[in-house]
Amino acid sequence: MIDAVSHSSHLVTSLLAAAPSAMDPGALRVALLASAVLFAVGMVGFLTRRNMILMFLCTELMFQAAAIAMIAFGRMHLDPQGQVFVIFILTVAAAEAALALGLVVLLYRRKPTLDAEAWSELKEC
C-alpha cells in the first residue's frame, strides 16, 4: 500500500514538472516590450509612408504585434484563449492582405502610381 502511494505521488510530481508553467514577469515584460516596439514601428510607418503597399505592410506589422501580446498574456495565465485570438488575428490579416492586394492592383490599373496622395480625390467632401 505504501509503495502504491509513493508511486502515485511520484507520478503526480513528474506530471507537475512536465506541465507548462506560467510565464515569469521578466519574460512577459520582454514580450510586451517587443510587441509595443513592433506596434509603434508599424504605426509610424503607416502614418509617414505614402506608398500603399508599405502602408499595408505596416498594418500587417501592427497585427503581428497584437498577436505577440495575445500569446504572451495567454502564456502568463496558462490559458489557450490567447492562441485562439491569434488564429483570428491571422485570419483577418490574411483577408486584409488579399483585399489590399486586389485594391492596389485595381487602383494601379486606373492610375499608374502607388502614391496615396494621388488618390486623395476618393475621400469624402
Tally: H helices and E strands in the chain: 4, 0
Average pLDDT over residues 38-52: 94
Residue 101 domain flag: yes
CATH number at residue 102: 1.10.287.3510
CA distance 1 to 18: 26
Show the domain range for 75.
26-119
Largest CA distance in the chain: 84
Residue 9 domain flag: no
Q: Is the pTM of this model over 0.85?
A: no
Q: 115 forms bridges with which residues in the sheet?
A: 51
Residue 124 domain flag: no
pLDDT tens-digit readout, 57-114: 999 999 999 999 999 999 888 888 888 989 998 998 899 889 988 888 888 888 888 7
3-state secondary structure 22-50: CCCHHHHHHHHHHHHHHHHHHHHHHHHCC
Residue 50 domain flag: yes
How many domains does the chain divide into?
1
With contact defined as beta carbons under 8 Å apart, do 63 and 89 qualify? yes
